[in-house]
């Protein structure tokens, strides 16, 4: 089946879609992105993604290239053109095309790319087997709250994780505290049953899945604390998991050489997975 991409006003065959060599995204990683999940044919959490996009753009002084409504329509169109039932839509907005110069160009229009990615339907049995993460120093810049396309430290850490048989790397700051994963947020459940994830700040991306899970957990009256936790605390946790648009909730059963709990997906993580699944299905049944 043909895949289609959207580049600066036009839909093109994915294989024929290109950007300028002077796009500032290519020259300076001067841009931002969003990944919006598609579940049962419906875009999930669009409002939250648009809010985060606007925040990222304004942090870099890149104007929003079109209205939220127009952008939402583009998401719908790329989803339909690519017949995506389960998957994700990738959006990238850069400052635009200009001769290479560190200074912001004047009269530069932002460049927009949208692509679509099809994924297999969610395989719960496989997810419940749990996964391994490793820890690595957090080498990223000091504005990880911006969803910048500059992802080299994330890419390197993810590759190292793969080499060690892990799905993800949890990044550790100068105080030995876990910030987040290379493309996910990090969570633990303490021996006392308290759900912990790091507070929002410049050190982490405010994940949309994180936000949804906090909402669901609060509704379920769980004891939740948004605070930093150390690598050592994570090793001693009763349960652990990570969250992202791509992985939803992924149980973590090993961190470095430490088994988490009994080395199997924890009871609370399982419950949260069920709650999240129900929420996702309800939202997808909406419109």
Ligand X SMILES: Cc1ncc(COP(=O)(O)O)c(C=O)c1O
**Binding site residues, ligand X, CB under 6 A:** 35, 180, 183-185, 205, 207-210, 243-245
Closer of 52 and 238 to ligand X (Cβ): 52
Q: What is the dihedral of CA 183, 187, 188, 192, to 10 degrees?
A: 180
Length of the chain measured in residues: 287
Closest CA relative to residue 20, chosen from 105, 91, 113, 151: 113
Q: What is the DSSP string of 82-114?
A: TT-SSEEEEEEEES-B-SS-SSPPSS-PPEEEE
242, β-bridge pairs: 186, 250
Minimum Å gap between C-beta 129 and ligand X is 21
Instruction: Given the residues 79, 132, 147, 238, select the one marked as catalytic.
Output: 147
**Nearest residue to ligand X, scored by beta-carbon proximity:** 207
SS3 5: strand
Strand segments, DSSP code E, in the chain are 4-7, 10-13, 31-39, 42-43, 87-94, 111-118, 131-137, 168-172, 178-181, 185-189, 195-197, 224-226, 239-244, 248-255, 258-259
Closer of 82 and 244 to ligand X (Cβ): 244
Minimum Å gap between C-beta 261 and ligand X is 23
Closer of 42 and 109 to ligand X (Cβ): 42
Minimum Å gap between C-beta 26 and ligand X is 20
Phi, psi of 133 (to 5 degrees): -125, 155
Closer of 180 and 239 to ligand X (Cβ): 180
147 carries an active-site annotation: yes
Minimum Å gap between C-beta 7 and ligand X is 22
Q: How far apart are CA 268 and CA 243, in angstroms?
A: 14
Q: How far apart are CA 134 and CA 158, in angstroms?
A: 10
Minimum Å gap between C-beta 219 and ligand X is 18
Tokens read off for 152: 């080299």
Q: How many CB atoms lie within 10 A of CB 202?
A: 10
Q: How far apart are CA 95 and CA 110, in angstroms?
A: 5
Minimum Å gap between C-beta 108 and ligand X is 26
Closer of 39 and 98 to ligand X (Cβ): 39
Angle between helices 208-219 and 267-286 (to 10 degrees): 110
Closer of 37 and 130 to ligand X (Cβ): 37
Q: Which residues are designated catalytic? A: 147
């Amino acid at each position: 089946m043909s895949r289609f991409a959207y580049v600066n006003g036009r839909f093109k065959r994915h294989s024929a879609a290109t950007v300028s060599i002077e796009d500032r995204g290519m020259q300076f990683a001067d841009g931002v992105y969003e990944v919006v999940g598609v579940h049962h044919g419906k875009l999930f959490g669009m409002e939250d993604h648009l809010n985060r996009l606007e925040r990222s753009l304004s942090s870099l002084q890149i104007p929003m290239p079109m209205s939220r409504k127009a952008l939402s329509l583009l998401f719908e169109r790329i989803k339909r053109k690519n017949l995506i039932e389960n998957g994700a839509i990738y959006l990238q907005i850069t400052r635009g095309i200009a001769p290479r110069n560190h200074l912001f160009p004047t009269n530069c229009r932002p460049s927009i790319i949208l692509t679509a990615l099809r994924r297999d339907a969610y395989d719960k049995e496989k997810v419940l087997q749990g996964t391994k993460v490793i820890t690595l120093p957090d080498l990223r810049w000091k504005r990880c709250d911006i969803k910048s396309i500059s992802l080299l430290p994330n890419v390197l850490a993810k590759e190292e994780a793969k080499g060690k048989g892990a799905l993800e790397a949890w990044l550790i700051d100068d105080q030995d505290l876990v910030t987040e994963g290379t493309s996910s947020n990090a969570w633990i459940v303490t021996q006392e049953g308290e759900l912990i994830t790091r507070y929002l700040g410049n050190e982490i991306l405010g994940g949309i899945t994180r936000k949804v899970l906090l909402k669901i957990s609060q509704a379920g009256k769980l004891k939740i604390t948004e605070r930093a936790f150390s690598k050592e605390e994570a090793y001693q946790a009763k349960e652990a998991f990570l969250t992202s648009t791509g992985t939803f909730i992924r149980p973590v059963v090993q961190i470095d050489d430490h088994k988490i709990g009994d080395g199997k997906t924890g009871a609370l993580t399982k419950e949260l997975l069920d709650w999240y699944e129900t929420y996702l299905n309800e939202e997808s049944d909406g419109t």
